[in-house]
C-alpha cells in the first residue's frame, strides 16, 4: 500500500508540474505533507530538509547575489564584454565566458536577470538578433554552475543529500573533476554551433526587436475622427505597421492611405515594443483595454516587460480571472508569445509560462514583484543598467570571501555563505528588507520539501526496484551503459519536474546502483548533480531558460536546436569520465 500511495503521489506531482497547474514549491511540499499524513514517512523524514543546510545556503547565496547586483559591481565588466570588436562568435565568446565563470560563484538566475536587458539592447542597436545570444547565455550560466558546490541549488541539494546519509558535504571544487570538462566543452560547442543552429527571429530589412500587437480605438469627437489614415500620420510610422481597421464587425485590410477613420474604429498595430508603447500617447487614440488602464495614472507610470514563469499564479488563468489590475496595480497592454505578438482580447487570454507581458505600472513595480515568483524577469523599457556604486568594491570583496574561505579550508560552504550574507547587511550594501527580498522563497521551499520525496522513495523500496531494473537491464553494457542510463533518467526528470526534485529522486537510485556495482557512490552523486543541471531541451526545465524565452522571441522547439547536441555531448562526457575514474 505504501508503494502504491508513493507512486500515486509522485505521479500527481509530475502531472501538476508538467501541466503548470501548480508551482514546484506547492507540489513538492504538498506531496511530502500527504506522504506524512498517510503514514508513509515520519515527520523527520518529511520535513527534515528544513533543518538541512542546503536550503539555508541557497537563501544566503541569493542575498550575496542581490548585493552584487544592487551595487552594479559587474557593470564595468559588462561594458567591456558588449563591444563591437570581432565576429558574432567572438562577441558571443566575450559574453559567455565571463557569464559562465560568474555563475560558478553566484546564482545563475540573478546573472541572467542582470544581463538580459543590456544584451537585447546591444543586439538591437547593432542590427543583430537577440535570439542568437540569449539561449547561449542561459546555457553557459547553467554549465558554469556545475563547477563549484555553490554554483547552483542543484549542487547544494546533492550536498545536503550526502550529509543526510552521513557523508561529508561537497567540497567547493569537488564537482570540477566532472563539471569543469563538461562546462568547457559545452561552451565551445555553444560558440561553434549557436550562430548556425539558433534562429534569427528578426525580419530582414526591418528593425529588430520584440514585436507586439496592440489595438487602439479612435476617440469620439477626437482629432482623428473623420480624418484619413495618411492625414492622421498613421501611414508611414517607423517600425510600426497599421494591420487592419475594424468597424461594426467589418475588417478592412490592407488599409488604404485615404481610408477615413471614424469614432469607435478599432485599429490594430504591430511593431517594435518601444514604438508600440509610443502609440499609447498619440492624441485621438485610446487603448481598447481602457477598462484595465483607467485606474492607472499614465503621468506617474511607465512600461515594463514581465516574463511569466511556470510557478506563477498567473499561469493557466486569464488576466480577468487573476484580477491582474487590482493585484499588481498595473495593466497589461500587449502580450508576446512563442516568438510572435499575440492578437486577441487580452482579458480573455489564458496566460502561459514564457509569455512576455507589456505592462503599464508604477515605478516601484519591478522592485515590488521581481522576487515574488509571479514573474521570472521584469525589465523597465528604455532603462539603462545600474551604474556601479561606491560599495561595488565592497560587494566584490564579500564575493571573494565567499570563494576563498572554503577554497583554503578555513570555513565550510554553509558557514561561509552565512558570513557573506551577513556581511552584505552589516556593511550596508543591502538593508534587511532588501536582503529578504533578494531571496527566492519558492526555490528555498522546493529544495527543503524535496528531501521528503527522496526519503519516501528509499523508505518504500521504489529506489531499490528501479536500481535493480537498471542493473539487470543495462549491466550487460558495462559501467558505461549503467552510468548512461542513470544520467539519462536524471536529465529526463529535470525537464519534467525541477532540477532539485530530479536530484532528490535519482540520488537514492544512484546509491543503490553504487552498492550493487562497486562504483564510488560519491562519484555517481556528483555525476547526477551535473546531469540534473543539464537542462537544455525546453524553456520550462530551468528558470534561466524561461527567463530568455520571451525577450528572445523564441518558440518552444528552438531550444532543441542547440539543446539536443549539447545534452548529448554533456551525457557522453560525464559517462566517459565516470567510467575512467571508476
In this structure, the answer to whether residues 272 and 324 fall within a common structural domain is no
In this structure, the answer to whether residues 303 and 286 fall within a common structural domain is no
How many Cβ atoms sit within 10 Å of the Cβ of residue 328? 23
How many Cβ atoms sit within 10 Å of the Cβ of residue 563? 23
CATH number for the domain including 235?
3.30.70.1450
Contacts of 130 (CB under 8 A, 6+ apart): 119, 120, 123, 124, 201, 208, 551, 552, 553
Dihedral of alpha carbons 389, 390, 396, 399, sign: negative
Q: How far is CA 362 from the centre of its chain?
A: 24
In this structure, the answer to whether residues 286 and 225 fall within a common structural domain is yes
pLDDT at 125: 61
In this structure, the answer to whether residues 220 and 288 fall within a common structural domain is yes
From first to last of its 582 residues, the chain has per-residue pLDDT tens of 888 888 888 888 777 766 667 777 788 788 889 988 988 888 887 887 787 777 888 788 778 877 877 777 766 676 677 666 677 788 889 889 988 988 888 777 767 776 776 787 677 666 678 889 999 999 999 999 999 988 887 888 888 888 878 888 888 889 999 999 999 999 999 999 999 999 887 533 333 345 667 788 898 888 888 899 888 878 766 567 787 888 988 888 778 889 999 998 988 887 766 566 667 667 788 777 655 555 454 445 677 888 888 778 888 888 888 888 788 888 787 888 876 777 666 777 889 888 888 887 777 788 788 767 788 878 776 444 444 567 888 888 888 888 788 877 788 778 888 999 999 999 888 888 888 877 877 777 877 887 777 677 667 766 567 656 766 676 667 788 888 888 888 888 777 666 777 787 788 888 888 887 778 889 999 999 999 888 898 776 677 887 787 778 787 788 889 999 999 999 999 999 999 987
| Number of domains present in the structure of the chain | 2
pLDDT at 291: 55
Q: Mark which of 261, 292, 323 sits at the end of a domain.
A: 292
Q: Where are the beta strands (DSSP E) in 261-374?
A: 266-272, 285-287, 302-308, 330-337, 340-341, 356-361
Cα dist from 87 to 78, 236, 288, 291, 566, whole Å: 18, 34, 44, 48, 22
Report the C-alpha gap between 448 and 461 in whole angstroms.
Answer: 22
In this structure, the answer to whether residues 270 and 310 fall within a common structural domain is no
Does the residue 95 lie in any domain? Answer: no
Does the residue 274 lie in any domain? Answer: yes
Q: Mark which of 347, 380, 413 sits at the end of a domain.
A: 380
Report the C-alpha gap between 448 and 500 in whole angstroms.
Answer: 9
Does the residue 197 lie in any domain? Answer: no
Burial degree of 281 (CB within 10 A; 0-12, 13-18, 19+): exposed
In this structure, the answer to whether residues 284 and 328 fall within a common structural domain is no
Enter the pTM of the model. 0.64
In this structure, the answer to whether residues 216 and 264 fall within a common structural domain is yes
In which domain, by residue range, is 363 found? 298-380
Contacts of 498 (CB under 8 A, 6+ apart): 17, 24, 28, 446, 450
CA atoms within 13 A on the CB side of 581: 17
In this structure, the answer to whether residues 302 and 376 fall within a common structural domain is yes
In this structure, the answer to whether residues 280 and 305 fall within a common structural domain is no
In this structure, the answer to whether residues 270 and 303 fall within a common structural domain is no
- Helical spans, DSSP H, in 252-309: 273-279, 290-293
pLDDT at 468: 63
In 3D, which of 485, 568, 483 has the Cα closest to residue 526?
483
Q: How far is CA 193 from the centre of its chain?
A: 22
In this structure, the answer to whether residues 286 and 269 fall within a common structural domain is yes
pLDDT at 202: 55
| Pairing verdict, β 266-272 and 250-252 | unpaired
The answer to whether 24 and 446 are in contact (CB under 8 A) is: yes
Q: How far is CA 379 from the centre of its chain?
A: 14
Does the residue 365 lie in any domain? Answer: yes
Does the residue 423 lie in any domain? Answer: no
Does the residue 359 lie in any domain? Answer: yes
Report the C-alpha gap between 249 and 251 in whole angstroms.
Answer: 6
Does the residue 484 lie in any domain? Answer: no
Q: How far is CA 171 from the centre of its chain?
A: 26
Report the C-alpha gap between 36 and 453 in whole angstroms.
Answer: 10
pLDDT at 422: 92
Cα dist from 358 to 201, 306, 346, 548, 580, whole Å: 19, 7, 11, 15, 51
Does the residue 137 lie in any domain? Answer: no
What does the block give as the cell for 27? 507540489
Q: Mark which of 380, 409, 434 sits at the end of a domain.
A: 380
In this structure, the answer to whether residues 274 and 251 fall within a common structural domain is yes
Amino acid at each position: 500500500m505504501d508503494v502504491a500511495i508513493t507512486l500515486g503521489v509522485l505521479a500527481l506531482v509530475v502531472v501538476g508540474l508538467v501541466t503548470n497547474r501548480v508551482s514546484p514549491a506547492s507540489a513538492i511540499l504538498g506531496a511530502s505533507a500527504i506522504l506524512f499524513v498517510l503514514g508513509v514517512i515520519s515527520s523527520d523524514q518529511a520535513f527534515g530538509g528544513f533543518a538541512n543546510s542546503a536550503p539555508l545556503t541557497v537563501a544566503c547565496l541569493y542575498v550575496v547575489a542581490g548585493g552584487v547586483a544592487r551595487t552594479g559591481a559587474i557593470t564595468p565588466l559588462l561594458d567591456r564584454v558588449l563591444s563591437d570588436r570581432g565576429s558574432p562568435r567572438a562577441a558571443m565568446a566575450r559574453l559567455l565566458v565571463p557569464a559562465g565563470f560568474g555563475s560558478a560563484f553566484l546564482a545563475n538566475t540573478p546573472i541572467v536577470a542582470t544581463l538580459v536587458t543590456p544584451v537585447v539592447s546591444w543586439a538591437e542597436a547593432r542590427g543583430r538578433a537577440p535570439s542568437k545570444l540569449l539561449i547561449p547565455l542561459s546555457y553557459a550560466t547553467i554549465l558554469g554552475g556545475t563547477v563549484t558546490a555553490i554554483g547552483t541549488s542543484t549542487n547544494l541539494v546533492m550536498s545536503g543529500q550526502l550529509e543526510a546519509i552521513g557523508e561529508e558535504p561537497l567540497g567547493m571544487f569537488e564537482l570540477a573533476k566532472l563539471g569543469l570538462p563538461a562546462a568547457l566543452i559545452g561552451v565551445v560547442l555553444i560558440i561553434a554551433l549557436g550562430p548556425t543552429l539558433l534562429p534569427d527571429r528578426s525580419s530582414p530589412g526591418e528593425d529588430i526587436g520584440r514585436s507586439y500587437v496592440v489595438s487602439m480605438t479612435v476617440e469620439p469627437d477626437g482629432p482623428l475622427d473623420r480624418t484619413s489614415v495618411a492625414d492622421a500620420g498613421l501611414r508611414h510610422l517607423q517600425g510600426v505597421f497599421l494591420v487592419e481597421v475594424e468597424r461594426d464587425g467589418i475588417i478592412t485590410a490592407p488599409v488604404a492611405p485615404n481610408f477615413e477613420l471614424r469614432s469607435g474604429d478599432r485599429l490594430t498595430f504591430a511593431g517594435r515594443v518601444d514604438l508600440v508603447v509610443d502609440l499609447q500617447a498619440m492624441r485621438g487614440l485610446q487603448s481598447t483595454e481602457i477598462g484595465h488602464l483607467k485606474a492607472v495614472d499614465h503621468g506617474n507610470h511607465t512600461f515594463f516587460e514581465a516574463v511569466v514563469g511556470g510557478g506563477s499564479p498567473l499561469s493557466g488563468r486569464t488576466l480577468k480571472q487573476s484580477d491582474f489590475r487590482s493585484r499588481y496595480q498595473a495593466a497589461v497592454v500587449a502580450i508576446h508569445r512563442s516568438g510572435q505578438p499575440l492578437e486577441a482580447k487580452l482579458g480573455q487570454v489564458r496566460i502561459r509560462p514564457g509569455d512576455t507581458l507589456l505592462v503599464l505600472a508604477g515605478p516601484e513595480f519591478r522592485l515590488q514583484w521581481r522576487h515574488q515568483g509571479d514573474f521570472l524577469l521584469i525589465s523597465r523599457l528604455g532603462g539603462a543598467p545600474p551604474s556601479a556604486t561606491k560599495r561595488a568594491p565592497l560587494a566584490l570583496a564579500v564575493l571573494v570571501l565567499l570563494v576563498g574561505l572554503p577554497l583554503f579550508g578555513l570555513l565550510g560552504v554553509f558557514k561561509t555563505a552565512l558570513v557573506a550574507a551577513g556581511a552584505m547587511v552589516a556593511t550596508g550594501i543591502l538593508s534587511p528588507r532588501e536582503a529578504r527580498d533578494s531571496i527566492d522563497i519558492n526555490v528555498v521551499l522546493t529544495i527543503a520539501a524535496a528531501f521528503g520525496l527522496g526519503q519516501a522513495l528509499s523508505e518504500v523500496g521504489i529506489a531499490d526496484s528501479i536500481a535493480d531494473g537498471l542493473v539487470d537491464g543495462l549491466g550487460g553494457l558495462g559501467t558505461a551503459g549503467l552510468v548512461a542510463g542513470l544520467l539519462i533518467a536524471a536529465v529526463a526528470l529535470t525537464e519534467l519536474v525541477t532540477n532539485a526534485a530530479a536530484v532528490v529522486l535519482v540520488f537514492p537510485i544512484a546509491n543503490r546502483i553504487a552498492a550493487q556495482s562497486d562504483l564510488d557512490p560519491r562519484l555517481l552523486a556528483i555525476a547526477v548533480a551535473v546531469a540534473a543541471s543539464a537542462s537544455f531541451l525546453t524553456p520550462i526545465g530551468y528558470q534561466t531558460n524561461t527567463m530568455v524565452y520571451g525577450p528572445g522571441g523564441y518558440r518552444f522547439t528552438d531550444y532543441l536546436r542547440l539543446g539536443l547536441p549539447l545534452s548529448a555531448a554533456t551525457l557522453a562526457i560525464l559517462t566517459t569520465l565516470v567510467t575512467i575514474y571508476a
